[in-house]
Amino acid sequence: MAKKETRRQAKNGDASDGRRTGTRKKTPKSSWRPFKKTGGGSYAKKPRKPEFSRLKPEIDPILKGVFRKIGKPASAPFVPDPFQLEALEAIRKTDCLVTAPTGSGKTWIAEQAIRAVFNRGGRCWYASPLKALTNSKWVEFADHFAPENVGILTGDTKENTEAPIIVGTTEILRNQLYDVMHRGADLNCDLVILDEAHFLGDYDRGVVWEEVMIYLPVRVNLLLLSATVGNAGEIADWLSSIRGKNCIVVSEEKRPVPLYPLFLHPTGRIMPYLEKRSLSPGVARFLDQSNQRRHGRERPTPFGEIINALEQYHLLPAIFFLKSRSECDGALKTCRPAAAYPEADDFSKDMEDLHERFPYIKNHKQLHHLMSARVAAHHGGQLPAWKFLVETMMKKGHLRAIFATSTVSAGVNFPARTIVLMNSDIFNGHEFNPLSGTEFHQMTGRAGRRGQDNIGFMLIVPGRFMDLIHIKRSLFSRPDDTMSRIRNDFSMILNLLLSQTPEDIRQIFERSFAAYQRDHRSQEDNAIHASLRLWEDFCRHLDFLKQEGFVDPSDRLTGNGIWASKLRLDQPLLIAECLRREALPRDDEKLLAAVMAPFIYDGDQELLYRNPPRKLREATHKVAQKIKPLMDRMRRAGFNVNPLYLWTSAVIYDWARGFDWDAIIKEAGMADGDLAMLILRTADNLRQIMSLRDTHPEIAGLAAKARDAILREPVVFE
């Protein structure tokens, strides 16, 4: 579900500013947030002109031998590693969980497993957590297996759905399992691959991974792939216990490209970070001296000069992991035009091709930095097409460096010779916490490109928010254990009640990873303790669904409950109430798109926006009045109900009416990526309403028109 994707981005460090003061200030909770008049403009402050300190690059003499290893390994025929062959042998017979460092060849295992099933006429499902990764795999598999044999299923894209190989998001696979359970049918599939399997422990989306593992027919072999699972044996034992077949763990700890940690002294001297398992003498002296000094006001980081220093010693390309979007954007301003590149590098041709595909980005405000300095910023505040362009140019070797939040470390194949860490903490959506073992290994996994580098590097840059000891510990730590995140929500319960009785659902909970961890771990673990309340919480949800007429006294879905189960979104009851009480516009697709937007937004910002037209005010007021009683009842029953911000309606209404993208961005003070996400998630909710063609044909048809009205460039791209 799109909302979950946004939350995951925030958790992984996509902070919108550089504040270190903890939780953001929240607006008072109430049902609706009214429109506010304004003269327009953005909250963005005028950036200060950057200051520069002159680095004098030099290297510690001990590094000369290490740096002589820099270069491209000699080409050689591909020979599978033993762990790859072991995994293939396992998945032919049973379930398999593969844990191996980033870039070590897990995708090759998936491709070969798919080929084996495809060659004998079987069907495969490849599920990933990110739409960008799903799109990438769709293109990649189409090259390997021919386009007619590969289909895609995401909230945005639906093509060739009867193909023998389907690539899609995990949420779509979970929804298909709901449907086949309802029909009493079997999933038309012989192999399911769950990429980035550590998402089982994701706070917001892990429940979807767990549901897939529980509902998947035992007949279908399951291949799990991840670089960062600390308790693979525990997950495999759980799967074996609920599926009645062995789940074999195949682990590879050796990195495909060795990692060498470096330290950048403020003078510009590059030195080893470690000596064996301790800080190197030079780093230890720096740490001792810095502890004796009082911290004064820090000068801005000279990112451009750091890049020049890395370039001097052949340490590019590099990924700089920064704490916030604003820091990524600001870093570009410190970069000077790059030295001349040979015409043969195909940079201009590749840029022309991408410009033809994405005309809007010809005027992108950061295009100058990419063209002149060969650097780019990559974060959630940017348009999907721009992020795709940056990823493409980096993979082709055209960029010297990118400045990114940690979201780039998850999922998409996006390596570099060097990764640069500026901070030892990460933003989780509310506050900054020390990097976990999993987060650290996701980042460092990008250092060193298999087949292109003999050695990869991590460069530590000291600063106010860099704990050198924490980074040292992280280098020798294992990824964190994955914990169950299963929980109840109304959409899940409605869909389970399509085919299950409450007693069946109780048994599902008893087969959950949460129950397994409860029985095999200490009760002191908070996540496990929370799992004990699953059944009690289910009963609370069930009672409310009965009270509202979605479930009858015999615990079966009513007619309203059956169609409401198709609303596989975050606010199914509120949207269902809008339909039951005829609160939605019936003859204006632009208004329909607009009134859906407040159900999407899960932030807490009260943005100022122009006074909306009377037609929109009346439409939103009608929705507010119709659903307020239900919202009040939900709160009294103890369910969380987010405020619904009506400025989002005005933004979507202007976009649906054809207003200029940049004008809306300026008026609302939003980032490009945030507006794109709001539009895409609104479109996804409209798609859910489109599924009600049998029971609500009129509004379903209007939802299709509304979706078409908002899905256009620069939000979508081919």
End-to-end CA distance of the chain: 21
Q: Please identify which residue in the block is written with the tokens 């198709």.
A: 566
Output the CA–CA distances (angstroms, integers) from residue 342 to 338, 346, 399, 702, in the order listed: 12, 9, 14, 54
**What's residue 639's pLDDT?**
96
* Interatomic CA distance for residues 416 and 440, integer angstroms: 16
Non-local (6+) Cβ contacts of 524 within 8 A are none
Mean pLDDT on 429-445: 87
Q: Please say if the pLDDT value at position 567 is more than 70.
A: yes
**What's residue 342's pLDDT?**
61
Non-local (6+) Cβ contacts of 111 within 8 A are 141, 144
pLDDT in tens, 96-150: 999 999 889 999 999 999 999 999 999 999 999 888 788 889 989 999 999 999 9
* Interatomic CA distance for residues 537 and 104, integer angstroms: 42
pLDDT in tens, 602-612: 877 777 787 88
pLDDT in tens, 618-655: 999 999 999 999 999 999 999 999 888 989 999 999 99
Least confident of 240-254, 401-415, 511-525: 401-415
In DSSP terms, which residues pair with 250 in a beta bridge? 98
Looking at per-residue pLDDT, the higher value among 494 and 411 belongs to: 494
Q: CATH 3.40.50.300 residue ranges in the chain?
A: 58-73+257-292+299-475, 82-251
* Interatomic CA distance for residues 405 and 380, integer angstroms: 8
Q: Coil, strand, or helix at residue 191?
A: strand
Non-local (6+) Cβ contacts of 659 within 8 A are none
**What's residue 44's pLDDT?**
35
Local confidence band at 10 (pLDDT 50, 70, 90 cut-offs): very low
pLDDT in tens, 446-499: 999 888 999 999 999 998 889 999 999 999 998 999 999 999 999 999 999 999
Check: CB of residue 409 under 8 Å from CB of residue 228. no
For β-strands 95-99 and 247-251, DSSP reports them as: parallel
* Interatomic CA distance for residues 479 and 476, integer angstroms: 10
* Interatomic CA distance for residues 115 and 150, integer angstroms: 12
pLDDT in tens, 669-701: 999 999 999 999 999 999 999 999 999 999 999
Closest CA to 638 of 558, 537, 534, 512: 537
**What's residue 450's pLDDT?**
87
Amino acid letter, residue 105: G
Rounded mean pLDDT of the chain? Answer: 88
What angle is formed at CA 671 by the lines to CA 598 and CA 199, rounded to 5 degrees?
75
CATH number of 82-251: 3.40.50.300
**What's residue 359's pLDDT?**
87
Local confidence band at 158 (pLDDT 50, 70, 90 cut-offs): confident
Closest CA to 415 of 608, 268, 259, 545: 259
**What's residue 408's pLDDT?**
64
Least confident of 343-352, 359-368, 559-568: 343-352
The correct answer on CATH 3.40.50.300 for the domain covering 58-73+257-292+299-475 is yes
Amino acid letter, residue 199: F
**What's residue 297's pLDDT?**
57
- Quote the percentage of the chain above a pLDDT of 70: 88
DSSP state of 272: E
